[in-house]
Structure 1
Amino acid sequence: MNVDFIEALEALEREKGIKKDVLIEAIEAALISGYKRNFNSAANVRVDINRQTGDVKVFARKQVVEEPEDPRLEISLDAAEQIDPGIQIGDIVEIEVTPRDFGRIAAQTAKQVVTQRIREAERGLIYSEFIDREEDIVTGVVQRQDARNYYVDLGKVEAVLPFAEVIPGEKFKQNDRIKTYITKVEKTTKGPQVLVSRTHPGLLKRLFELEVPEIYEGVVEIKSVSREAGQRSKIAVHTKNPDVDPVGACVGPRGARVQAIVNELKGEKIDIVRWSSDLAEFVANSLSPAKVVKVDVEESEKVARVVVPDYQLSLAIGKEGQNARLAAKLTGCKIDIKSESQMGPAADDPELDIEHEVER
């Protein structure tokens, strides 16, 4: 190694942010192993790389004793005094043992170490970048798939999109551009692994932030989201500005804003409801598009008993209970739904007293 090598390390320090001294120390440690492996040495050695010239030297480190038992690790006082007249018993003396062709080994080892450190540094930078983007939306290009996952190119890293995190019925081809939600970033032996999803409720939330300026600017706030990916979602919004309609802002002119999100989610239906600090009012809103006659709430148990007109009962419950189930998730309440006729005299008949209970 020579001055050019040192200059190359300095260039790496400027470009990659890997300090020259850190690289040199790593190369020195690797060269110690290389020396012992290539020259069958069990001696205690130190490798020194000159920080200015790049010259490499190997020193055997031996302890000064009266009668050496292992000449690879020990040296007599008489022999040590020829190297350093002031040496004493118990001191360590260093003797240069640089092999003639050690430069070739040093160059190969340095290349391997530098390459490895550059790779580690780049992985570290990628991890730092994407760990800050957890719970954020990213656009990528589908590269390939295997038996369980799609692999999405995000530029600096290939993200993993499991089939379980794909909207039901959704299929992608190579080079398709898709939006995904980063659920987790992990460090692995092969570098950072980014896991993404198309079914996570956070994707819906981030899409609204992209499409609705009032949400991005903080004028309108998303209070809660419940989602059954590919079928239906509910989102509760609120604003402190009396001049702003939070639902209207999310719907957009002629429904343009919400329609853009529906298109991105392959036709998933989205109910936008007004959040309220009054839990009874919030529960009534959450059952939209059904109309609600009355809501009784037991705050301590988070239970809401809802009465709806007879003709609205099936709408309030939804297909296979979906509307009521999403409302329960949105509000955090267990919701019991009954029609007006069930609350009348006929409700005393146990055969007619049908209770629709939905767990949150």
Structure 2
Amino acid sequence: MDIVNLDLIEAIKGLVKAKKVDEKIVFDALEMVLLTAYKKETGSNAKSSVTLNRETGDYHIYEEKMVVEEIDPDSENAVNEISVEDAKKIDKSYEAGDMLRIEVTPKNFGRVAAQTAKQVMIQKLREAERGSIYDEFSGREGDVITGTVKWSESRTIFVDLGRVEGILPYAEQIEGEEFHPNDKIKCYVLEVRKTTKGPEIILSRTHPGLLKRLFELEVPEIYSGTVEIKSVVREAGSRSKIAVYAMDPKVDPVGACVGPKGQRVQNIVNELHDEKIDIVRWDEDPAVYIANALSPAKVISVSVWEEEKSSYVIVPDYQLSLAIGKAGQNARLAAKLTNWKIDIKSETQAKEEGFGQAAEEEDDDILGDIEAGGEAEEETKE
């Protein structure tokens, strides 16, 4: 019996293991290749099948025939029929209506089949590997992945992720960051696309999800669910704000994120190349939450209008520029974090607009609520 090239079988098994693709997919494809090669070689249109020993490469090709009393040569199905007379030459027990399986493996066919199979198998292995890679990475969208910078072209950075290269587009890079070949880099898996050339892994260094995932990795209390991240906003490379909350009043969510001597948040700051991070305490009271969100600025009072989702914040005169931030950044990020419109006024401005007395009445309540998280939040800025 002809043998499919044993080296081909061994090569397929080796590649299947190395590329982590489904062996069944590859060998099923090889059987189809053998069947196609047989039909091309013989010109047969009969129903046929192939069995392949996936250890030795030994294969057999069969044609399936229906036993009939007499074959009608003009019938379209004649090629799939055999007369009772001919069937009984094979085995006397055959009767009309039986299905007969005849081996039709051509002699000296193994060499031709192996040559054809090699060409097709290379393509099938590539397709299977692409499918395997896509399945692996499509489930990691929204996750953080560590890779090695390979090279860059037209300001796009290509990252070695092991079995595939990731793409870090210029638009997803933090302004001012520089990476060189062989640098380790953590990225957010933004999107996994299917393309004709295989899966395309789009990475990001600017997505708020990167900051969230880094905190989940760095802070055990977040990973365990003791501390919950409520909201994250970023102006990548410059400043971020993250709101955290703990159901257990005994747990300080801000302190947990800051870590002993500020080490946890500092590790994340280092990873993001000195991006400033404000960790604030989330609160169900929007006035308290807004005051916290304006950290590191101190707040005198916050008035809120639920229907309009707007607020009027009063800060000490000397804190106004800090509350608003450079080019309005602090106020802008606080508004995005809380999803509230925030109108910030100094104490003097508020009195001129008639809000001064209200500010004095609310002063103690607001300051008392934000005091607990204030020191930890400031520590992140030092």
Q: 2:177 aligned to 150, 157, 170, which one?
A: 170
Aligned to 2:113: 106
Residue 265 in 1 paired to residue 268 in 2? no
Superposed counterparts of 1:241-280, under 5 Å: 241-280=248-287
SS of 1:144's equivalent in the other structure is strand
Aligned to 2:361: none
In the superposition, the TM-score normalised over structure 2's length comes to 0.75
Counterpart residue identity of residue 73, structure 2: P
Deviations 1:296-325 (A, max 9, x none): 222343222223334433322222221111
SS of 1:336's equivalent in the other structure is strand
> Does structure 1 conserve the Cα–Cα contact (< 8 Å) formed by 2:159 and 2:165?
yes
Aligned to 2:33: 30
SS of 2:166's equivalent in the other structure is strand
Stretch moving more, 258-267 or 196-205:
258-267
The structural deviation recorded for 1:50 is 5.5
Q: 1:56 aligned to 53, 59, 66, which one?
A: 59
SS of 2:206's equivalent in the other structure is coil
The structural deviation recorded for 1:195 is 2.1
Q: 1:197 aligned to 204, 208, 227, which one?
A: 204
Change in Cα spacing, 1:36 to 1:314, as seen in structure 2 (3 Å) is: same
Deviations 1:114-171 (A, max 9, x none): 5555555554554444344332222211112223631111223221211111101222
The structural deviation recorded for 1:25 is 3.9
> Does structure 2 conserve the Cα–Cα contact (< 8 Å) formed by 1:180 and 1:197?
yes
Deviations 1:68-108 (A, max 9, x none): 13775666665555446566667665554433321112323
Residue 308 in 1 paired to residue 315 in 2? yes
Change in Cα spacing, 1:170 to 1:50, as seen in structure 2 (3 Å) is: closer
Deviations 1:57-76 (A, max 9, x none): 33444565543137756666
> Does structure 2 conserve the Cα–Cα contact (< 8 Å) formed by 1:27 and 1:109?
no
Residue 150 in 1 paired to residue 150 in 2? no
Counterpart-to-counterpart distance in 2, 1:216 and 1:340: 41
Aligned to 1:67: 72
Counterpart-to-counterpart distance in 2, 1:108 and 1:222: 58
The structural deviation recorded for 1:175 is 1.3
> Does structure 2 conserve the Cα–Cα contact (< 8 Å) formed by 1:6 and 1:51?
no
> Does structure 2 conserve the Cα–Cα contact (< 8 Å) formed by 1:5 and 1:54?
no
Counterpart residue identity of residue 30, structure 1: V
SS of 2:350's equivalent in the other structure is coil
Deviations 1:215-255 (A, max 9, x none): 34444332211101011111112224444433233334443
The structural deviation recorded for 1:199 is 0.5
> Does structure 1 conserve the Cα–Cα contact (< 8 Å) formed by 2:26 and 2:125?
no
SS of 1:285's equivalent in the other structure is helix
> Does structure 2 conserve the Cα–Cα contact (< 8 Å) formed by 1:3 and 1:53?
no
> Does structure 1 conserve the Cα–Cα contact (< 8 Å) formed by 2:302 and 2:312?
yes
Q: 2:325 aligned to 298, 318, 321, which one?
A: 318
Stretch moving more, 220-229 or 128-137:
128-137
Deviations 1:254-274 (A, max 9, x none): 433333322221221111211
In the superposition, the TM-score normalised over structure 1's length comes to 0.79
Counterpart-to-counterpart distance in 2, 1:162 and 1:17: 29
Counterpart-to-counterpart distance in 1, 2:249 and 2:53: 71
Change in Cα spacing, 1:175 to 1:68, as seen in structure 2 (3 Å) is: same
**What residue ranges of structure 2 are gaps of 5+ in the alignment?**
356-382
Aligned to 1:46: 49
Counterpart-to-counterpart distance in 2, 1:152 and 1:59: 49
The structural deviation recorded for 1:342 is 3.6
Counterpart residue identity of residue 152, structure 1: V
Counterpart-to-counterpart distance in 2, 1:243 and 1:346: 41
Q: 1:291 aligned to 292, 298, 302, which one?
A: 298
Higher RCO structure (Cα 8 Å, ≥6 apart): 2
Counterpart residue identity of residue 156, structure 2: N
> Does structure 1 conserve the Cα–Cα contact (< 8 Å) formed by 2:296 and 2:322?
yes
SS of 2:308's equivalent in the other structure is coil
Counterpart-to-counterpart distance in 1, 2:220 and 2:65: 72
Counterpart-to-counterpart distance in 1, 2:219 and 2:188: 18
Q: 1:235 aligned to 228, 231, 242, which one?
A: 242
> Does structure 2 conserve the Cα–Cα contact (< 8 Å) formed by 1:222 and 1:238?
yes
Aligned to 2:372: none
> Does structure 1 conserve the Cα–Cα contact (< 8 Å) formed by 2:4 and 2:114?
no
**What residue ranges of structure 1 are gaps of 5+ in the alignment?**
349-360
Matched-pair identity in % = 57
Superposed counterparts of 1:124-163, under 5 Å: 124-147=131-154, 149-163=156-170
Change in Cα spacing, 1:253 to 1:13, as seen in structure 2 (3 Å) is: closer
Counterpart-to-counterpart distance in 2, 1:170 and 1:214: 30
- Structure 1 or 2: more helix by fraction: 2
Aligned to 1:353: none
Counterpart residue identity of residue 333, structure 1: W
The structural deviation recorded for 1:196 is 1.6
